[in-house]
Structure 1
Amino acid sequence: MHSKSSEFSVVPQGPRSCQEKAFTDHYQVLKDIDHGAYGQVILARHLRTGAKVAVKVLPRSMWENLVHSEILAMKTLNHPNVIQLFQVIETHKQIYIVMEYMVGGSLFDLVPPGGMQEKEARRLFKQITSAVCYCHKMHILHGDLKPENIVLGARGNIRIIDFGFSVMFKPGKKLTQFGGALDYLAPECVRKEVLEGPPVDSWSLGIILYFMLTGQRPFKAASKELRRKILDPKLKFPWQVSAKAKRLIKKILTVDPRARLSAEEILVDPWLNQGEEKLPFHDVPLPNLSDPTVLTMLFDMGYDPYSTWVSLSQRKFDEVMASYLIIQQQISQGAGCMKPLGRRVAPRPCPRDPSIFPALPQRRASEPAIHTFPLPCEHHWPQEAKESGQKSFRRASVPAIRLRFLHEKPPTPRVASQHHSVSEAPQPCPSIAASHVSQDATAVHPRGHRKGWKWVRQRIAACLHRLCCCTPSCDGENEAPTPGEQKPARFTNRVVPT
């Protein structure tokens, strides 16, 4: 069994500790906020969203075990009165814990010398107790509750910060280690006894409430004398503290941890609930990570949809999830709190996007976007036309007219395949059909260019006669054409309906 105290010598890290590329690629350092034995707290700006964040920089080698317990606790918790974790960046030298930035200062600076008004103290203490009760329901012991670790936001609500001495506990199992400032340690911690987790935080809540109402701590003395006063507490209250508040503090600051009020019992105390409703913050679900509005903004910033889905579903607390949580928080605070985007990344162009590729028609900014992907109701071109490589097609509203040609002599396989494709392709009218035949015949006729056109003209005339009138069949069906001469095609005495 051993103890850990938060009263260590200060080890400032200096500005160079925040110049690693893994951090500066996403954040801009603005100024230092605080230095301590644990490391350094700085104010930074998120480059993608422009939001200000607080970053806790810890040396990896010295505090690796403590940092991992702190990160685990912050990843588990989601409560309106617990600091919001955005991102965790780990390098070989440093660990960066990126959190929301609270502009109101700490509770220690907020309490005046004579104490706060009971109404305001009751409002803030209810939020503190609600957050501690939630932590205990999630089996997390904060371990270092004090006014310096309670900060105030812009809207007057508090956040509990600094989970560096937090411990994951199991109900009914005793703890063998503890930490925190001596002024706020429970008697069982001073005696270095095997202890349970939640009563330790409850004792700290009693000290905090006394400080809020009086402006001073209940036990003040040197280290040895202070331990004696904690083990045998004799509380003295100023005249302005009400009787109900005194009774609540005495029930909390009980030496026996089994008789001490828990955080859940404190929340139902009459003094804490007079004239106000209870806060329904006991069971808070995890944040919604599938908000379509936030996802749309992420995709517009250039984030890959699949990588975004993996990051949010696995709760990686990386750059993607940090951007999501920051945007979600800005939206919840109102449109006036939205910051201009920083380093904007243009999305990758799509081959079907008419606004990027000049081969497609451009649209004006005032015109609505045109869908370039095929819709189910759209007509598709015939497969034969696609395979033949023709550039002009018939409209879907024009009926197809089939043209049949009777050849005097069986053509070669190449010519036959081409004639078949021409005869099978749907044609809109004789003129279009003739143009298609001319294109096809010119490409496949074995004769020269001049003789090929003569053959084309004869075919066009034959097609027109075939469609428009009845022509008796001619003699000489078995005669073969002489070289360089093309005989007209033979027709039957049948009328083809148009």
Structure 2
Amino acid sequence: MLDKRVVDLRLDQLENVKAKNGKEHFEKQYTMGKLLGSGGFGSVFSGHRISDGQQVAIKQISRDRILQWAKLPCEANAVPMEIALLLSLGSGTGSVPGHHGIIRMLDWFEITGQGFLMVFEKPQYCQDLFDFITERGPLEEPVAQRILKQVLEALQFCHSKGIVHRDIKDENILVDTRTGDIKIIDFGSGAALKDSIYTDFEGTRVYSPPEWILHQRYNAQPLTVWSLGVLLFDMVCGDIPFEHDCEIIRAVPSFTKRISKECQSLITWCLSYSPEDRPSLEQILEHPWMMESSEDFGDLQAESNIKPSL
């Protein structure tokens, strides 16, 4: 379990960012609707912006559920790490350019007695990748390749900004079913990127690597690459490769569907037992399987109702 520590991110580009305190400020700008989902992180509600009617998603987090805090320049009080990370990735009204593959936080508020409210864009015609796979079954390899390439490019952007997500999984990737464009969501387990060892982890256990299961230690890039191997297996086989700790430690995926040797090769490389044997993000992008052209996404739109997710 993480201690409730405060990290000084020293993000110079955020020097003019300040909280919009008070429930009255929030209620003048947004209307909160029905509950979309809840979990250990808090609760997510639908909503809209009063000024123009734009649909939004609103994430509510109680102060007692926040395990990591960050100190921003020109802010007297610490803020949840997730807010600081999203601001540094180009969310909010700051001048930091964002990335189309990362969900955008439009606003955030500190509410006395309630914690924090984070207002996100709510893309239309999107569903999370978990539901996308559940409805369609295993994805064709060109579709999986198209999605993985976008995830990799978004993660490269995160790393370039000094941020590691630490919870890459199908539920944290939104897919636009019309275009195939993706957005990575939920930076609640994220952290500042560093070269040294991490000894804390609040991500999803079945996506975590052997070194965490055995020793509660890992480095950022090998952790990320392992989770990408799990994700790719999930996309092309229809389910994750490992359910139990003993399976993760063995690090030998059993391919349940017929997939190409090139795809198997990439999955196996990402799921190497030893962290030093796994590829870098750049090496994944240069893998022969990733160099194949991906198919058009237009005919994959679900016929069923699609619920946006955050």
State the alpha-carbon separation in 2 of the partners of residues 212 and 203 from structure 1.
14
Q: Say which of 83, 103, 110 aligns to 1:83.
A: 103
Which one of 55, 62, 73 corresponds to residue 85 of structure 2?
73
- The answer as to whether partners of 2:42 and 2:65 remain within 8 angstroms in 1 is no
Q: CA deviation at 1:126?
A: 0.7
Cα 1:60–1:193 shift into 2, 3 Å: closer
Secondary structure of 1:164's match?
coil
TM-score (norm 1): 0.49
Task: Give, in angstroms, the shift of residue 39 of structure 1.
Answer: 1.1
Aligned match of 1:341:
none
Match of 2:273 among 255, 271, 284: 255
**Residue in 1 that maps onto 2:184:** 160
Equivalent AA in structure 1 for residue 128 of structure 2: S
* SS of corresponding position for 2:108: strand
1:29 aligned to 2:32?
yes
> Following the alignment from structure 2 to structure 1, what is the Cα–Cα distance between the partners of residues 137 and 60?
35
Structure with higher RCO (Cα < 8 A, 6+ apart)? 2
**TM-score normalised to the size of structure 2?**
0.77
1:116 aligns with 2:139: yes
2:221 corresponds to: 198
Q: Indicate the residue corresponding to 2:230 in structure 1.
A: 207
Q: 2:283 aligns with which of 245, 251, 265?
A: 265
1:208 is displaced (CA, Å) by: 0.5
Give the gaps of 5 or more residues in structure 1: 5-18, 221-225, 277-498
Residues of 2 paired with 1:75 and 1:20: CA distance?
A: 21
Asked if residue 219 in structure 1 is aligned to residue 242 in structure 2, the reply is yes
- Deviation of the 1:219 alpha carbon: 1.2
Aligned equivalents of 2:67, 2:233: Cα separation in 1: 35
Q: How does 1:223-234 map to 2 (within 5 A)?
A: 226-234=244-252
Amino acid across the alignment from 2:66: W
Contact 1:245 1:271 in 2 (8 A): yes
Amino acid at match of 1:70: E
SS in 1 for 2:44: strand
Give the conservation status (yes or no) of the 8 Å contact 1:30–1:43: yes
Q: Higher strand share goes to which structure?
A: 2
In the other structure, the counterpart of 2:117 is 96
CA contact (8 A) 2:2 2:68 kept: no
Q: Does 1:42 align with 2:45?
A: yes
CA contact (8 A) 1:45 1:53 kept: yes
> Which residue of 2 is the match for residue 180 of structure 1?
203
Q: Which has the larger radius of gyration?
A: 1
Q: How far apart are 1:263 and its partner, in Å?
A: 1.6
Identity of aligned residues (%): 30
* Amino acid of the structure 2 residue aligned with 1:102: P
What runs of 5+ residues in structure 2 fail to find an aligned partner? 4-21, 70-78, 90-97, 295-310
Which of 219, 228, 237 pairs up with 2:255?
A: 237
SS of the aligned residue for 1:131 comes to helix
What's the CA shift for 1:239? 4.4
Aligned mates of 1:219, 1:3 — CA distance in 2: 25
The one-letter amino acid of 2:246's match is R
Aligned mate of 2:65, from 62, 65, 74: 62
Kindly provide the CA deviation profile for residues 381-415 of structure 1, in whole angstroms up to 9, marking residues without a partner as x. xxxxxxxxxxxxxxxxxxxxxxxxxxxxxxxxxxx
* Distance across 2 between alignment mates of 1:174 and 1:118: 34
Alpha-carbon RMSD = 2.0
